[in-house]
Structure 1
Amino acid sequence: MSQSILERDYTESPAPQRAEPPKIGLSSEQAAELRQKYGANSLASERKARPLRIFMGQFKDVMVMILIIASAVSAFIGEYYDALTIIIIVVLNAVLGFVQEYRTEKTLLALKNMAAPMAKAYRDGHLTVIPASELVPGDVISLEAGDKAAADSVILSAKGLMADESVLTGESVPVSKTAGNTRDTDNSLGKPNIIYSGSIITKGTAAARVIATGVNAQMGRISGMLTDIDEEETPLQKRLGELGKVVAVICLVVCVIVAGAGILKGEPVFDMLMTGITIAIAAIPEGLPATVTIALALAVSRMLKQNALVHKLHSVETLGCTSVICTDKTGTITENKMTVKKAYTHSGDYEFSGQGYRVSGRITSSKGESENIKSSAVLRELLRCGVLCSNADISDDAGDERTIAGNERVIAGDPTEAALLIAAAKGGMNHNAERMAYKRIDELPFDSDVRRMTVIVKDPSGQGMMSYCKGAADVILERCSHILTESGIKELSYSVRKEISDKCGEMSSEALRVLAFAYCPKASKNSPDSGMVFLGLMGMTDPPREEAKKAVRLCRSARIRTVMITGDHKNTAAAVARQAGILTGEGRVITGEEMSKMTDRELENAARDASVFARVSPADKLRIVRAYKRLGHIVTMTGDGVNDAPAVKEADIGVAMGITGTDVTREAADMVLLDDNFATLVSAVEQGRGIYANIRKFVRYLLSCNIGEVLTMFLGIVMGMPMVLLPAQILLVNLVTDGLPAVALGVEPCGEENMKMPPRKKDESFFSGGLMFRIVFRGILIGICTLACFTVMLRTGGSLAAARTGALATLVMSQLFHVFECKSETGNIFTVPYFNNVRLILAVLFSVAVLAAAIYIPFLQMVFTTVPLTGEQLLIAAGLAFAAPLLQCFGAK
């Protein structure tokens, strides 16, 4: 930056000891003293749990505690295989949970990295590049286009300064910054004389004095919000906790009943206690935590293929509970790419098709005819003015290596100026060719005082200089005396001025950002922007994504409410929300100013009808998310900027953008959309609903099977029979025939019916809809049929080993029949689709093969104490196993 920007002393040292000649910036000694006072220019560290503490926290779950106790008891009574198996399962789940949770601890580290790593500051009277962490209040820094501000600073002097503050405010358009009160120390958001930490300088140069660093800067205040947000259990974790309590009660009741029944019959007390404990252990579905983890992990893998990256496994199911999606506007619903949509000239109105930075759109007149620079001299001059009054650059043609798929051009510079180049390209104009023909001599940059930009160029005909100007419509009109028409330059009459003003108001009412354009064919170097010829108006906007519109409709059909939360102006936000289908006739738009006057209870009432929240701060976003959570909703919050991070972390499920999103938002989120596509979120919701349905399916399967096993053992003891199944045989059932089919149920295809039902209520029981009755009823049938096979084989002359083998075969086959019933909560064994899940069929075949091997391979016969069954015995076992689903059809729905 040139020295002229700092012609006078802006330092005003905090505590001058004596009169000294003015100096620029601080001395090294002053900076060191201030660093001791204010600390380093870094963000607050989050309260981090130690790795060991995180790992040990994985064992707090009720179900895990039951498994640990079961493992200890199994080892105590000599069942070492059971004990080892259970411990392996517990440790595996703990490791997976630790890995997922430890990743979330990166949030604040990513936020620290958002600050610029280096800064240009005046130290000891010289401009020096120093680490941004060394900046202190009082430092004078230099900024120019492309720099990222490293601290909140008051502007001392500026030339054509524009800053992109979307990372903090969510507004897509860079804002103009000017010098004001150089003694200002208030770094509240939205001030034109303050540069905020993390913002990007898109145009111009400036000198500024640092007024807030670290946690006192706006970026630091957001980090404080993140630190204050506590993690909550997901709905699935709460429901699994509920399930663990149910299992604990069942185990305790079984143990007491079995031990009590045996003692009353005169059996030894110690033996019956051990028997009761053994049967209680059989009641524990030790494969459940592993099955849940595997099912969630497979769902995460499927979602990754659809461009949704999940940080936390349990977030998959939480997403399926979503009843409200609070979405950011810029870059989420919209493309975050300014696009010219309409233009006005004396020749008529024009519309521009196409989205973003694609040049595949076209220009059409009010008659619906295609237009280009050959068909209208006025349109050609308007587009040329936009090109020349732009410092942006775009990839030139389809062969340019910067051009990406879909005819999308890569841009560099201000988004508004890039939109002008894209509009010209749609009309057939090459911006590089125009700039070569009209070589720039000088520029009067845009600032908030003059509200216009003027460039002076050489006349290609060699007859002197020309000037082109763009800016606010009222400012440009004041400087115009004539207007360009298809028949030449004519005087600008009052009626035409009024027509232009009316047209400007019409465009603004459609939430378009309107710029006016003019030129002077014979420009004076001393007054290049007076006596100009009016060319026309262009209205531009950041349009909604087409896929976002479809996604909003899908959310509505799934009875999920979409609410837009943005820092943009109320009218702009409302217009985009209407185009996207978020704001309908009954919807309400609430501003941050209105929110500031509401109590939390009033905000809750207002949120019931609100579809859009505009001009909101990061703290407002937090209040909104919390209001919907207090109303009983499961809230999903999407965002990309740092301003979204606290609300993203507070929400039940936080979703960040993978392309435009900042590191801090991605790390604070539970899920990242790798393609920034709102439609991907809807697909993830469908997966979330499907995975919960699948978890209910395999929980139903596992609990029914375990109840069947317990009843088999319990009734056998009560009836005075020999032990129906030996511990090794129960272990075989639990590890092989229970586990694999349950995992296969976890990858059942997500049916379309899941997206036609309303979201589940937050307090809905895991066993809602009669699930518990179906589990218990089926478990009783499994137990009775298994016990019947054991009894029949004993009474038909079979040995005790053959009876136990037959009971084992009946138990396994009845469970394998039941796994197909579990595919649907409304169908039965005859109506469910069998072939839509190949993994389930393979798992059942594998289980059948394991059962056959255990019965007919000599070595395994010794391990599991089985004997070969005759054909007749196999038919008895298969018949009784199939009797259970038949009775289920008639006995329960």
Structure 2
Amino acid sequence: MKIEPLGESTDPLVNIFNTTVAELLNIVEAYRQRKLAEDIELLESEGGALSFEDKLKSSIKYGLSNKEDQTERIKIFGSNKPAKDRSKTYFQICWEVLEDPILRILVISGLISLTIGATLDEHPAYGWIEGFAIIVAVCVVVNVTAVNDMQKQKKFKELKKRNRTGRVVTILRDGVWSSMHPKHILVGDIIKIENGITIPADGILIDGSQIEVVEAAMTGENDNIKKLPFEEAVRIKEEYYLNNPGVLEAMKKSEEDRHHELPSPVVLSGTNLAEGVGIMIVIAVGKNSAEGRIFDLAERADELTPLQVKLARVAGGVGKLGLVCAIVTVITLYLRFIIEIASGEISWSNKEHPLLLVKFLIIGITVLVVAIPEGLPLAVTISLAYSIKKMQSENNLVRKMQACETMGGADQICSDKTGTLTQNLMTVSEMWAGNQALNIESGPPSQGTFQAEFLHLLKESIFMNSSAFIDPEKGKQGSKTEIAMILLMQALGHSDCIETRNTYLERYHRIFPFSSKRKKSSIIITTDEGKLRIHVKGASEVVSSCCTSFLTVDGKSHLIDNETSKVIQNMISRMTDNALRVIALTYRDLPIDVDIEKFDTMGFPELEKSNLTLIALIGIRDPIRPEVPGAVKECQRAGITVRMVTGDNKATAKAIARECNIISKDTQTVMEGKEFSTKTGGTVCKECKTKICPCPRNAREAKTSTKSIREDVVADLEAFKEIVANLAVLARSQPDDKYTLVTGLKQLGHVVAVTGDGTNDAPALSKADIGFAMGITGTEMAKESAGIILLDDNFKSIVRAVIWGRNIYDNIRAFLQFQITVNIVAVISAMVGAITIQQSPLTSVQLLWVNLIMDSFASLALATDPPTDDHLNRPPYKKTEFIIEKRMWKHILGQSIVQLIIMFSMMYAGEWFLPEFGTGTSVLYNKDTDYVIAGRTYNPDGSENYKPYLSDPNIGPSRQFTYIFNTFVLLQLTNEVNARKIRDEVNAFERILMNKMFIGIWFFTLAMQVLIISVGSYAFSCHLKGLTVEQWMICIAFSAISLVWRFVLVFMPTSIFSKVHVDENRNSARLLSMRGSSMQRERINLNTT
């Protein structure tokens, strides 16, 4: 059981602190490698936990001193400031983009074309231009992509920074507990850890109660792991050794691992406190801590979001088609050339043909570049990044990108009550005390209502069994429920909460924090008379059932008879029916020799289970948020079922659910968690069919197991299905019940969103398709498990997330409809042109410009369309729904057919209907007609056509093919307007002015096209004189056909397209390998935030 040490320090400054960094890290490493209790034994050999008070020049009672020069401490042990983000530079991103093999081939081809054109071409003065233009076009693509990535990187750095902001930890300095940012923690600090926080540094527990930690973030183990202060851990270890003689010898000979059989006092940074409160001394921070060392060794793997994976599959189908077209095009061109050479139709020319062969290759490569819609993941990234920014302004802080897109398909929302559906503004509304009912809303009880003895016990119960307080400077701190009761005491003339606690500072014996399983909290103190007393507070029906007596106004205790019992139960029922949360305050005086460490089989304190005296019943009202009933109605209109999951009893939960419109039909039911769990059987392992099984819980455990990773399912799915058909509210529920509800709904094929604020909600938040954590009341562990954080804890913000999720999906579909149309037209026209006339109607540079329009400009324009409330007028997307639906295929294929007809008409018959205007050199070669001269370099039979004119520096590229290029681009701009609508909406221009980004990019693209046509010349293969105004009008007229044709398509039945789709379920590995770096650029993961 020997622990491998990390090494010894030779730092000459080590004697200042009487310990080394290595010695401290060996303690953590002993825990990480422990088989039984090696870490405890190592601490014992070091002199125990308290020995570090001297070694680290700290004080358990006063902590570190702010007056101390902390330079040496930081120099030796390090700082807890987060490591700098490893952001990529602009040039690193550019290089990553250039790792795309297709772009590299284009660069090489461009260089070859440039070299041959400048040396072997008949007209080297401008023969180099096309090769140079290809290189410039690639540079533009690279830089546009790099700029997008830089902006994306900047946005997520800001998001990461915002996620860190607001985290606080309680640190003891100069004898005063203060809230500080974790970055200020130093080795030797005494810090308080409380339920829900993420532990910010490695340390040793020196005090605490009922501490349970989840180490999933560090070890992958999802179970709660019990921790004990050092002294208790030693005692438990000694008892274990005594009761298990020979265990140490047996462990030495065995490979058996009993890592968690004995509780450890060592806690690791990055883990989460699931239960309890404690105090620890810090022994490692920053890069020396367990969390810091893990992050230093490995970066978290990037992952494609689900929508990106689905789009990659679509792109894979289109890309394969493009690859086939490119190969066919290149092979046809080379075969035709070889046949012409072999037959003697043409003779080899050292000046002309090497460049021609390179151009054939470039045409094929360019067809492939245009065919592969690598702009799809970019569009997802842009849409998500844009949406994330906008969603934050609407109080949705997105931590995981996939949560945005998944919300578009959410059809179930399981919502908490407190703070989400309600305002979390707790006020005491009613009270039963001293055997009388009091309406507090109408005013506090008069001064003579209660006698001093009663008030003393009421004050002691409220002030002592609570961690909340009201500070003159910081205001209200702690649980809103406890604050409401403190305010009640203030109304009764007792504002000395902090002072009262200070007088009891040395009289605390044991604190049992609130547990959702027990539904209560308790504290054991010594009274002024020297007696032991336990105060118990919790859910009224749970705690009152443990009472055998009650207090009257004079502070006297009386037995609860049948009549009084009925009064109490009726009072609880009346309050809960009035949507009040009822808290019972009780106490019990204990004999001085009582065993306060006695627990039942559930681990609950025995002392709080019987012989309690009821002090008061407190009815607390938490008003419904005024916007919630309307928001719930909006969800129901959108096809989303809203269910409430709460810890309140059935009566309170039902009353609140009715107010919120969650219950609107008599058939809807309310069920308590216990009954729900019994009927459904809870969750079990899918393979073993048991709640507890040997199956590994994570990938780390799976490496050493023959079994697959455990998958949880509902034990009795049929019973579950029957229950959830009408289930509206799950009352008196525990986190396990919420987890079962989420698991079952997902099993039934639903997309589930769930809200949570507590540490115990983490499993359900992680299990759900979309987890919403409360930004105000949520624990750090809940936030870490969630995909979205509700900054205002408001249900209305969830509705906004739904709208944004659906909008993202619609925007991606719009872009998909646009891009696939361009792909089909560009690829088919290029292939047919190359095969028939040895040239594509669009040159390589022109196609690269079109590719830029498709990928970057169109993705910005279409992926940023803002949402509207109309998104709630239809049901959610289904998981099995194809991303390209039948109506979309109707418009994709319909527009493609029209565009190809226009393109081929211009290409093969343009000289018969495309007019020529103007005078001068540009028209002299066509004196006998009013139409343009045929611009095809070769005729279909292989004979030369326009080729001689290309050699004339006064004429250059043809007017006909300038027509074709301009009309093609304008058709795409027109279709960009069409593509905004994907549901056969008649008006394609509806709300177009709402998207300023679309308008700006559309006109920018048009302006760039005008510039290219006017001055593009040889670089873009445009006529030296461009196009006249009249010719521009003709191009615009042809492009307008797309708008008219869309109107026809809207009324065309979609049934003829019912069998047209790209299989989105097939593997896209070939596409990913083909465009590996391009896809890699779009991988986004926010988990590291």
Identify which of 316, 319, 335 aligns with 2:407: 319
Read off the aligned partner of 1:478 and give its amino acid letter: S
Q: Which moved more, 1:97-106 or 1:633-642?
A: 97-106
Shift of 1:853: 2.6
Unaligned runs of 5+ in 2: 1-38, 57-84, 114-130, 175-184, 217-228, 241-257, 342-355, 513-520, 538-542, 589-611, 685-689, 693-711, 913-929, 936-957, 1055-1089
2:307 matches 1:307: no
8 Å Cα contact 2:548/2:559 also seen in 1: no
8 Å Cα contact 2:895/2:1045 also seen in 1: no
Shift of 1:856: 3.6
2:894 matches 1:798: no
Distance in 2, matches of 1:818 and 1:283, equals 18
Q: Which moved more, 1:240-249 or 1:379-388?
A: 379-388
Distance in 1, matches of 2:786 and 2:614, equals 49
Distance in 2, matches of 1:637 and 1:814, equals 45
**Which residue pairs with 2:967 in the alignment?**
810
**Which residue pairs with 1:432 in the alignment?**
495
Distance in 1, matches of 2:741 and 2:101, equals 37
8 Å Cα contact 1:323/1:634 also seen in 2: yes
Distance in 2, matches of 1:132 and 1:663, equals 21
**Which residue pairs with 1:244 in the alignment?**
315
2:1010 matches 1:852: yes
**Which residue pairs with 2:817 in the alignment?**
700
Q: Which moved more, 1:468-477 or 1:853-862?
A: 468-477
8 Å Cα contact 1:483/1:535 also seen in 2: no
Distance in 2, matches of 1:162 and 1:665, equals 20
Structure 2 vs 1, CA of residues 831 and 515 (structure 1 numbering), >3 Å: closer, same or farther? same
- SS of the aligned residue for 2:139 comes to helix
Distance in 2, matches of 1:142 and 1:263, equals 76
Matched residue pairs, number?
771
**Which residue pairs with 2:800 in the alignment?**
683
**Which residue pairs with 2:1039 in the alignment?**
881
Structure 2 vs 1, CA of residues 347 and 245 (structure 1 numbering), >3 Å: closer, same or farther? same
Identify which of 776, 781, 793 aligns with 2:893: 776
- SS of the aligned residue for 2:993 comes to coil
Please show how residues 370-409 of structure 1 align to structure 2 within 5 Å.
370-373=442-445, 377=449, 386=458, 390-391=462-463, 395=470, 402=474
Identity %: 23
Identify which of 859, 866, 875 aligns with 1:749: 866
Distance in 2, matches of 1:598 and 1:837, equals 52
Distance in 2, matches of 1:598 and 1:342, equals 42
- SS of the aligned residue for 1:716 comes to helix
Distance in 2, matches of 1:181 and 1:857, equals 82
Structure 2 vs 1, CA of residues 725 and 773 (structure 1 numbering), >3 Å: closer, same or farther? same
Distance in 2, matches of 1:868 and 1:436, equals 87
**Which residue pairs with 1:5 in the alignment?**
none
Identify which of 661, 669, 687 aligns with 1:585: 669
- SS of the aligned residue for 1:478 comes to strand
8 Å Cα contact 2:171/2:191 also seen in 1: no
**Which residue pairs with 1:124 in the alignment?**
none
Distance in 2, matches of 1:420 and 1:94, equals 52
- SS of the aligned residue for 1:835 comes to helix
8 Å Cα contact 1:820/1:829 also seen in 2: no
Distance in 2, matches of 1:208 and 1:831, equals 64
Shift of 1:641: 4.0
Identify which of 556, 568, 571 aligns with 1:501: 568
Shift of 1:691: 1.2
Shift of 1:683: 0.8
Structure 2 vs 1, CA of residues 339 and 553 (structure 1 numbering), >3 Å: closer, same or farther? farther
**Which residue pairs with 2:363 in the alignment?**
275
Distance in 2, matches of 1:375 and 1:114, equals 40
RMSD: 6.5
Shift of 1:789: 3.9
Q: Could you list the per-position Cα deviations for residues 655-689 of structure 1 after superposition, in whole angstroms to 9, with x for gaps in the alignment?
A: 33333334454345433222232322221121111
Shift of 1:457: 11
Shift of 1:887: 3.0
Shift of 1:831: 5.3
8 Å Cα contact 1:724/1:790 also seen in 2: yes
8 Å Cα contact 2:315/2:372 also seen in 1: no
**Which residue pairs with 1:84 in the alignment?**
139
Please show how residues 97-116 of structure 1 align to structure 2 within 5 Å.
none
**Which residue pairs with 2:923 in the alignment?**
none
**Which residue pairs with 1:767 in the alignment?**
884
Shift of 1:551: 4.6
Structure 2 vs 1, CA of residues 58 and 475 (structure 1 numbering), >3 Å: closer, same or farther? farther
- SS of the aligned residue for 1:343 comes to strand
2:637 matches 1:557: yes
Read off the aligned partner of 1:293 and give its amino acid letter: T
Distance in 1, matches of 2:301 and 2:900, equals 45
8 Å Cα contact 2:419/2:794 also seen in 1: no
Identify which of 295, 299, 316 aligns with 2:383: 295
Shift of 1:508: 8.6
Read off the aligned partner of 1:775 and give its amino acid letter: I
Distance in 1, matches of 2:486 and 2:324, equals 76
Read off the aligned partner of 2:876 and give its amino acid letter: P
Shift of 1:778: 1.0
8 Å Cα contact 2:203/2:280 also seen in 1: no
8 Å Cα contact 2:458/2:615 also seen in 1: no
Read off the aligned partner of 2:1041 and give its amino acid letter: A
Shift of 1:184: 5.3
Structure 2 vs 1, CA of residues 555 and 184 (structure 1 numbering), >3 Å: closer, same or farther? farther
Shift of 1:303: 0.9
**Which residue pairs with 1:538 in the alignment?**
618
Shift of 1:68: 6.6
- SS of the aligned residue for 1:432 comes to coil
Read off the aligned partner of 2:317 and give its amino acid letter: V
Distance in 1, matches of 2:40 and 2:816, equals 68
Distance in 1, matches of 2:484 and 2:319, equals 64
Shift of 1:388: 6.7
Distance in 1, matches of 2:371 and 2:566, equals 82
2:1005 matches 1:824: no
8 Å Cα contact 2:550/2:559 also seen in 1: no
Structure 2 vs 1, CA of residues 635 and 804 (structure 1 numbering), >3 Å: closer, same or farther? same
- SS of the aligned residue for 1:851 comes to helix
Shift of 1:498: 4.2
Shift of 1:764: 2.5
Unaligned runs of 5+ in 1: 1-12, 33-48, 121-130, 136-140, 169-176, 352-362, 365-369, 403-409, 459-466, 520-531
8 Å Cα contact 1:711/1:780 also seen in 2: no
Shift of 1:58: 13
Q: Could you list the per-position Cα deviations for residues 515-563 of structure 1 after superposition, in whole angstroms to 9, with x for gaps in the alignment?
A: 35899xxxxxxxxxxxx99985323477776656655544343333456
Distance in 1, matches of 2:194 and 2:985, equals 68
2:833 matches 1:716: yes
8 Å Cα contact 1:518/1:534 also seen in 2: yes
8 Å Cα contact 1:389/1:468 also seen in 2: no
Structure 2 vs 1, CA of residues 729 and 565 (structure 1 numbering), >3 Å: closer, same or farther? same
Structure 2 vs 1, CA of residues 246 and 498 (structure 1 numbering), >3 Å: closer, same or farther? closer
Structure 2 vs 1, CA of residues 230 and 883 (structure 1 numbering), >3 Å: closer, same or farther? closer
Structure 2 vs 1, CA of residues 283 and 299 (structure 1 numbering), >3 Å: closer, same or farther? same
Shift of 1:760: 1.9
- Normalised to the residue count of structure 1, the TM-score between the two structures is 0.66
Structure 2 vs 1, CA of residues 565 and 848 (structure 1 numbering), >3 Å: closer, same or farther? same
8 Å Cα contact 1:340/1:541 also seen in 2: yes
Distance in 1, matches of 2:619 and 2:259, equals 31
Q: Which moved more, 1:819-828 or 1:332-341?
A: 332-341
Distance in 2, matches of 1:277 and 1:207, equals 66
Distance in 2, matches of 1:15 and 1:195, equals 12
Distance in 2, matches of 1:468 and 1:282, equals 76
8 Å Cα contact 1:564/1:577 also seen in 2: no
- SS of the aligned residue for 2:432 comes to strand
**Which residue pairs with 1:411 in the alignment?**
476
Which one scores higher on RCO, CA 8 angstroms, separation ≥ 6?
A: 2
